[in-house]
Amino acid sequence: MAGILIEVIASFIWRHHWQTVYIVGDKTGNGFSVATTGSAVLRQRLLSRPGSTVYVTIIDSAVRSDQSFGSILTDIRSKARIVFFWGIAHSLRQLLITAEKMNMTGPEYVYIAADPLEYTTSLYGNYTWQNHDDDDAVAFAAFHALFIVVPTSTATSDTTTQTRWQLAQQMMERSRRDYNYTYGKGDVPSPIVLAAYSSVQIVGRVLDSVWRSRNTTSGPDLSQSAFLAALIANHSFETKAGSLSFDQFGERIIQFDVRQFSAFTGGFQIVLQEVFGKPGEFLPVRNTTWRNGMPPLDSPFCGYDGTSGTCALSGGHEVVVQVVSCLLLLLLISAFIFGWIFRYGMLMRLVVNDKKCQENDVVIISRRNAQKNVLDCTMKRFDISADFQPAARTPGLVT
């Protein structure tokens, strides 16, 4: 499953042409193995594509998580906009809350996390913004930047779902009765436990089928594992835990969904689903919502420090915005002034014989003040339409 999961994550990142990724691994709790091994394997896979840059930081958030995440996010701000997180759900929530408070969950940021389990258990927790505490509102806002990669449900019907939970209840009771282990409130056996149970069930079915069909005097040697494996490869089986399928090598085929947080439901909705048996290929399920209308750039327009490219001369994109705003304001004012001039006045060339006026002067005469301004002046030519000429002649005005 690990190889398939890594391939799905990498393909989702490459699908949007993101080449710079910052991986954060939190080894607290049950996240230790995925934080360390998962980060190393994902980094290697991403770097296999030319032009990629991958940063990796491993922490233990059990020790002052706010300071740890704050320090990491400060580093992320100057290096990347695509962040992948390995770790338990509680740590992911804390990371996003800290990011929201640092204004690092806007449209230019994308956070991705992976839950290797099909349904919620205590191993990794519930990937939710809601914890019924003072940070719920902040977490809700932060989760808008989050995608999660999770296995596609193997429960193909409501009947399978009910049977699965009945089986889980039986396992919990046997655990308490036979091994003196009690599951925590709201917790259930993980999909790994159910998969192990189903594996035994599948082997039993294969053995039973072969035994019933074999000749009593001759037949295949059931002690040969290769023979049994060949009967499992390229087959699907319906079990109490769900539908399980195997490829030509006998490895279980696990599909994955890419889900995006929905502000309307407060949960996650499938946007992409892996093509069955083809890791890294997706079928769109619904449109991905990008807050800027398109996937964020791999690198910000003005660079990670805000002073690259066209922003270098101005010292940052904030200054660029201010300058552009001022230019737009000046253009609006100029348009207003020239509109007023062309609406209420025009240029006239006056050839004047009177001493009060100079020959060839150009005077802007408004319609309202035309008669008063040309009083005592001799006007030889008007560059004016009939609509704007004086309604009546003024004494002293010679035409």
Residue 227 pLDDT greater than 90, yes or no: no
Instruction: Note whether residue 132 is domain-resident.
Output: yes
86 with 57: CB under 8 angstroms? no
Instruction: Note whether residue 396 is domain-resident.
Output: no
Q: Are residues 41 and 75 in the same domain?
A: yes
Q: Are residues 191 and 241 in the same domain?
A: yes
Residue 142 pLDDT greater than 90, yes or no: yes
Instruction: Note whether residue 395 is domain-resident.
Output: no
Query: Containing domain of residue 97, as a range?
Result: 1-152+254-299
Instruction: Note whether residue 161 is domain-resident.
Output: yes
What is the rounded distance in angstroms from the CA atom of residue 153 to the CA atom of residue 114?
15
pLDDT at 12: 95
pLDDT at 48: 94
Q: Are residues 64 and 133 in the same domain?
A: yes
Q: Are residues 70 and 181 in the same domain?
A: no
Q: What is the mean pLDDT of residues 154-177?
A: 84
- Note the pLDDT tens digit of each residue in 253-295: 888 999 999 988 999 999 999 888 787 889 999 999 998 888 9
pLDDT at 34: 77
Q: Are residues 98 and 123 in the same domain?
A: yes
- Backbone angles phi and psi of 106, in degrees to 5: -75, -175
Question: For residue 343, what pLDDT band results from cuts at 50, 70 and 90?
Answer: low
pLDDT at 319: 58
Question: For residue 247, what pLDDT band results from cuts at 50, 70 and 90?
Answer: confident
Last residue of one domain, picked from the residues 299, 330, 355: 299
Instruction: Note whether residue 28 is domain-resident.
Output: yes
Q: Are residues 102 and 3 in the same domain?
A: yes
235 with 203: CB under 8 angstroms? no
pLDDT at 317: 53
- Note the pLDDT tens digit of each residue in 296-332: 888 887 777 776 666 665 555 555 566 667 777 788 7
Q: Are residues 353 and 213 in the same domain?
A: no
Q: Are residues 95 and 161 in the same domain?
A: no
**Number of domains the chain is built from:** 4
- Note the pLDDT tens digit of each residue in 14-56: 999 999 999 999 888 766 777 888 899 999 999 999 999 999 9
Instruction: Note whether residue 394 is domain-resident.
Output: no
| Three state DSSP letters for 320-364 | HHHHHHHHHHHHHHHHHHHHHHHHHEEEEEECCCCCCCCCCEEEE
- What CATH number corresponds to the domain at position 184? 3.40.50.2300
Question: For residue 136, what pLDDT band results from cuts at 50, 70 and 90?
Answer: very high
What is the rounded distance in angstroms from the CA atom of residue 190 to the CA atom of residue 23?
26
Q: Are residues 44 and 102 in the same domain?
A: yes
Q: Are residues 183 and 76 in the same domain?
A: no
Q: Are residues 138 and 171 in the same domain?
A: no
Which of 91-100, 303-312, 346-355 is predicted least confidently?
Answer: 346-355
Q: Are residues 295 and 324 in the same domain?
A: no
65 Cβ partners below 8 Å, 6+ apart?
91, 94
